Amino acid sequence: MNKKRTSIKQQIRLTIAKTILLSFFATIIVVLASWAIVMSIDDRYYANYYESQVPQITDQVQSLNRELVNSQASGAKQLEEIIPTPGMEYQVLDEQGTFLYGSFSANVNPEGVHLLNKVNKSFLEENTATSFIPIVDQNGTFAGSVVLQYKLESEVEALFNIFFVCLFLTPFFFIMIFTYYYASKLGKNYYARIQKLIVATELVRKQNLDFEIEADGNDEITKLSTSFNIMKQALQDALYQQWNLEKNRSEFISSVSHDLKTPLTIMKANAQMLERKIKDEQHKTYIANMIGEIERTEKLVQELGTKMNDEESFFAIETKTVEPGHFFKTEFAKYKDFVQNEGLTFHTSVLDYRKTANTIQIDVQKITQVIDNLISNSLRFAEPYDGHIDCHAECHDDYVKVTVSDNGKGFTESDLHYVFQKFYQNNDSADPHKGLGLYIVKHIIEKHGGNVQAWNDKGAVVSFQLPAIPKNSH
Distance (Å, whole) CA 437 – CA 390: 18
Q: What share of the chain is helix, strand, coil (3-state, %, to 5)?
A: 55, 15, 25
Domains in the chain with CATH codes:
8-41+158-201 (no CATH), 45-155 (3.30.450.20), 220-307 (1.10.287), 318-473 (3.30.565.10)
3-state secondary structure of 380: helix
Quote the pLDDT of residue 401: 96
pLDDT in tens, 262-284: 676 777 777 777 777 787 777 77
Question: At CA 398, angle to CA 395 and CA 403, rounded to 5?
Answer: 40
Full-prediction pTM beyond 0.85? no
Exposure string over 416-448, b if 16+ CB within 10 A, otherwise e = eeebbeeebeeeeeeeeeebebbbbbbbbbebb
pLDDT of amino acid 65: 81
**How far is 97 from 108, CA to CA, in rounded Å?**
9
Beta bridge partners of 131: 122, 148
Q: Where are the alpha helices (DSSP H) in 382-447?
A: 413-418, 437-447
The pLDDT score that the predictor gives to residue 255 is 67
Task: Say how far apart CA 370 and CA 328 lie, in whole Å.
Answer: 12
User: Per residue in 183-210, pLDDT tens?
Assistant: 888 888 778 888 888 888 888 888 787 8
pLDDT at 122: 85
- Rounded Cα distance between 400 and 468, Å, is 6
Query: Residue 422: its pLDDT value, please?
Result: 76
What's the one-letter identity of residue 72? Q
At position 96, the amino acid (one-letter code) is Q
Q: Phi-psi bin for 191: left (phi > 0), alpha (psi -120 to 50), beta?
A: alpha
Q: What are phi and psi of 466, to 5 degrees?
A: -125, 140
Contact 427, 420 (CB under 8 A): no
Q: What pLDDT does residue 404 have? A: 95
Judged by DSSP in three states, 445 sits in helix
pLDDT averaged over 10-residue windows placed end to end, the chain, 474 residues: 66 86 88 75 61 85 84 86 85 88 88 84 85 86 89 65 79 88 83 84 82 77 83 83 76 67 72 77 77 76 60 73 93 88 91 91 91 90 87 95 93 84 63 66 92 92 92 60
What is the pLDDT, as a whole number, of residue 453?
94
User: What confidence score (pLDDT) does residue 1 get?
Assistant: 42
pLDDT of 192 reads 81
